[in-house]
Amino acid sequence: MFLTAVGDMGCRRSMEATGARRAAALATGVALLFTGACDTDKGGGRADDKAPTATLPVTSPTATAPVPRGRGSKVADDVNGDGYPDFAYSAECGAYEPARAYRKSCLVVLYGSAHGLDPAVHTLLEPGDAALPKYVDAHPTWNPSLVDLDGDGYADIKYGAFVVWGGPTGPRPDTPDSTLPDGTTGPGDFDGDGHPDLAAASDPFRILYGPFDRKARPSRTDPDGLAPITGSFAEGEGGLSAGDADGDDKTDLVASARGYNGEPTLVLLHTGPAGSDAPAQRLRSGSSLAFGDFDGDGKGDIAVGHNGNRSDDEDDVDETEAPAVHDTLTVYPGDGGTPHQLKDVLGYFITGDLDGDGCDELLVNPHTGPDITVLHGSPGGLGSRSILRRTGPSRVPGTKRAVASYNRYAIVSTVRDFDGDGHAEAVLRWSLPSGDGPSQWWIVEDGKDVRAFTDQPFTDASVT
């Protein structure tokens, strides 16, 4: 039975065989479809684990340290090439200036190391630096992609259509003006040649094959590679999500679109050297989707559900559909087996192997409410659940104004093994809904806080 836990040995046996695929999946295995998109911890272990988890007070780091100089690596999201994954996010920075028509927003890069992410080691890019546009949208629920587009061993920062090139000490200050087509996805290797590629959801849908040159031009383009996508996919509101759905070392795509009747359609495209190389598979409708290897068999699975945002989901559900169906999660196994359903799962999905057993967990950010649900992977698939919760400040930073209780909940921003110990860390972020002011961060490993800090010292963000 799908929900039955049968121990961890099956997951561990598959770890070495799936290591490379897991790194790529963690970099690309989350998608939010049709979105715009210290209190005591409630858990972090298995549902039957009674031991409390350790939380840390949020600190304000003042020390700084230089970015370690790398020599290039094959790690998918390693900006400085030192062999450890890095993390980039957007943030408000600087004091509010009434004369500006908009707030100044920046990009922040935090660097992985043997000790994980350290806020003292960071790079702050302001508008105009390294070919960034004057206006950068600082959205607290969306992060730039990190991908080595030019194949030099240093991951580049893909921020929408803009590219900031990586180097031995992080982002290169002399980055040329490099712009990609609108609507490009997160990275994937769609033809299996070892070079990251991008899929473009702008008309016409197409695949852009790497490596890319420093003007962000692909080595080749396949305008017919996504031929199965027609009609509403090319003409309506939609997008593409990249990840592994079968374990064949080639990234697959899920295409989403709203038809003219408002009914969303999701289809899975298996890709190869000649583009889409198998018939498209229709998936259930849904506004939240993620890729992950939940049973550790080396073949990526797909999780589809609803995010809980009625503005996104109101067309996702048939008028006669029971609420219980709306709250279900459907998992499509990578081995082509029968899809499985889990009940009472509603939110935004992100995946990663939190306990190092070779099976990915599914973390569910709620649309409302304090609790992040963790569905634990096992050889039998997703099964037991636990809760992760971190809470932001009771007052708006730098003011005496209260923060409403429903605006104090942190969400998972990313999941990645930043220290290379085989256990992925969950990085949680709290920000005001407006995105103004500083953010608070928690880096959680094995249910315990490794670090907890505010980014105000280096973003210098303030609230009016």
Neighbouring C-beta atoms of residue 115, cutoff 10 Å: 12
Main-chain phi, psi angles of 451, to 5 degrees: -145, 155
Cα dihedral sign for 292, 298, 300, 305?
Answer: negative
Q: Which segment of 17-31, 43-57, 213-227, 288-302 scores lowest on mean pLDDT? A: 17-31
Top mean-pLDDT range of 17-21, 150-154, 272-276, 395-399:
150-154
pLDDT at position 160 is 85
The token pair that represents 335 in the structure block:
């081995």
- Distance in angstroms (rounded) separating the CA atoms of residues 67 and 65: 7
Closest CA to 348 of 323, 366, 328: 366
Pairing between β-strand 301-305 and β-strand 288-292 as defined by DSSP bridges: antiparallel
Instruction: Say if residue 394's pLDDT is above 80.
Output: yes
Q: What is the spatial distance between Cα 257 and Cα 266, in angstroms, rounded to a whole number?
A: 7
Mean pLDDT rounded to a whole number for the chain: 82
Give me 404's structure tokens: 């409403």
The confidence band for 176, taking pLDDT boundaries of 50, 70 and 90, is confident
Residues 199 and 242 sit within 8 Å (Cβ to Cβ) = yes
Amino acid code (one letter) for 73: S
CB-based burial label for 141 (10 Å; 0-12, 13-18, 19+) = middle
Burial of 42: CB neighbours in 10 Å, binned 0-12, 13-18, 19+ = middle
pLDDT in tens, 199-247: 888 766 788 999 999 999 999 987 666 766 655 565 556 678 999 999 9
Residue 348, strand partner residues: 365
* Region of poorest pLDDT, from 1-15, 301-315, 379-393: 1-15
- Of the CA atoms within 13 Å of residue 185, those in its CB half-sphere come to 34
∠ at Cα 413 (411, 418), nearest 5°? 130
Burial status of residue 406 (CB atoms within 10 A of its CB: 0-12, 13-18, 19 or more): exposed
For residues 441-464, average pLDDT: 93
DSSP track, 76-124? TT-TT-SSS-EEEEEEE-S---TTSSS--EEEEEEE--TT---TTSEEE
State yes or no: pLDDT of 439 exceeds 90: yes
**Residue of 21, 27, 72, 22 lying closest to 187 (CA atoms):** 27
User: Quick one: pLDDT at residue 235?
Assistant: 58
Distance of CA 382 to the CA centre of its chain: 19
For 3-7, 195-199, 435-439, which range has the lowest pLDDT when averaged over its residues?
A: 3-7
Give the integer Cα–Cα distance in Å for 82 and 124: 19
Is the distance from CB of 366 to CB of 372 less than 8 angstroms?
yes
For 316-358, what is each residue's pLDDT tens digit?
444 444 444 578 999 999 999 999 999 999 999 999 999 999 9
50 has pLDDT over 50: no
Decide which of 41 and 293 is more confident: 293
Supply the Cα-derived Rg of the chain in whole angstroms.
21
At residue 18, the pLDDT reads: 44
- The reply to whether the predicted model has a pTM over 0.85 is yes
- Between CA 406 and CA 89 the distance in angstroms is 23
Per-residue pLDDT reduced to its tens digit, 256-298: 876 555 556 788 888 766 556 667 889 998 989 999 999 999 9
Handedness of CA 77, 83, 89, 94 (dihedral sign): negative
